Structure 1
Amino acid sequence: MAAPAVPVETAEAAEVAPVRKSKKKLLVIVGLLVLLAGGGGAGAWFLTAGGPDAPKEEPPKAPVYLPLETFTVNLQGAEQQFLQTDITLQVSDPAQVDAIKAHMPRVRSRLLTLLSGKQAGELVTAADKKKLAQEILAQVRQPFDPKGKPQQVDDVLFTSFVIQ
């Protein structure tokens, strides 16, 4: 007997069905690759903060310190008490060091006046010393000339602090 004749449509449909499956798989694979590549590119962009056009952060500048000569003053009060302290100024740049050194007699005068006006009881706690550091900072920042610019002093550091 002869094999039943397969209609032409059925034979074509059988050939087309596997092709559709492979095209579908191919589209899914290509879609996943595009998605992964896009995600990887976006991740790289975020990690490099926008690429080579992004502004570069400069490393922080090393601090510049200016140690002052030791201050020894009589403190106010009924008892005869003395304060001996070493102070170091932290400034923004070496130009500020030169400006302060050029006016050191004025700086020392301002600080001696400030320190000698204190009583021993005002300088006991850490909070008292922080307050004194802020007062010293205000004195040193004042312009040396009537129309001059204030000094750029960032911090006042006590390297020695003795009350007797």
Structure 2
Amino acid sequence: MKADPKADAAAVPKSSPKKLIIIIVVAVLVLIAGGGGAAWYFMQGGADGKAAVKEAAPAEPPVYVPLEKFVVNLQPEDGEQYLQIQFTLQVPTLEQVDLIKANMPKIQSRVLLLLSSKRASELNTPEGKRQLSSEIIAAVNEPFVDKGAPQLVSDVLYTSFIIQ
């Protein structure tokens, strides 16, 4: 039982030129819509990228306020020990520098009280020094007047750190 090749050819309907044109037009429209969507996506991403760079760039470079050397007795562990430390505060503006300089006695008092409460074993490790930096920032950022605005010290940069 052989199948008739002419019958198989007759069973497959021929596609009309109208259907072929419609398929091509739909495919072109899909490609155009996809290209337009991709262009919009990348243009939006480029605009957001430029805005993010502008937002990330600080308006002014940070300003540094060096403080005088502090020498304090540490809490006793294995005999008398003292800490000699010098550091610089990082602030965002010159107005903050003026505010800190005008209130330097309060800052010195706060830092001295903080430093004299420490033990040498707490300060010997890098983690201890980082913790001390956080505590100094918190102490200096406390408002100088009741219900006043806090200072904007963002970092403590050690320039000398000696424990004896």
Q: TM-score range by the shorter chain?
A: 0.7 to 0.9
Q: Does 1:85 align with 2:85?
A: yes
1:20-44 CA distance string (max 9 Å, x none): 41x3333223222221221122122
TM-score, normalised to structure 2's length? 0.72
Q: Which runs of 5+ in 1 are unaligned?
A: 1-16
Paired with 2:73 and 2:108, the residues of 1 have a C-alpha distance of: 15
Secondary structure of the corresponding residue to residue 154 of structure 2:
strand
- Percent identity, aligned pairs only, is 49
Equivalent of 1:27 in 9, 22, 25:
22
Structure 1 runs, 4 residues or longer, greater than 4 Å off: 50-55
- How big is the alpha-carbon RMSD for the aligned residues of Structure 1 and Structure 2? 2.9
Task: Please tell me whether the aligned partners of residues 90 and 153 of structure 1 are also in contact (alpha carbons under 8 angstroms).
Answer: yes
Q: Give the 3-state SS of the residue equivalent to 1:36 in structure 2.
A: helix
For residue 100 of structure 2, what is the amino acid of its counterpart? I
2:6 maps to what in 1? none
How is 1:28-107 mapped onto 2 (pairs within 5 angstroms)? 28-49=23-44, 56-57=51-52, 58-61=55-58, 62-77=61-76, 79-107=79-107
Residue 131 of structure 1 pairs with residue 131 of structure 2: yes
1:121 aligned to 2:132? no
Distance of 2:88 and 2:134 partners within structure 1: 13
**Count of residue pairs the alignment pairs up:** 146
Q: As a proportion of its length, which structure holds more helix?
A: 2
Q: Which residue of 2 aligns with 1:12?
A: none
Q: Return the alpha-carbon distance in structure 1 between the equivalents of residues 48 and 89 of structure 2.
A: 38
Shift of 1:142: 0.7
Specify every segment of 5 or more residues in structure 2 that has no aligned partner in the other structure, as ranges.
1-13
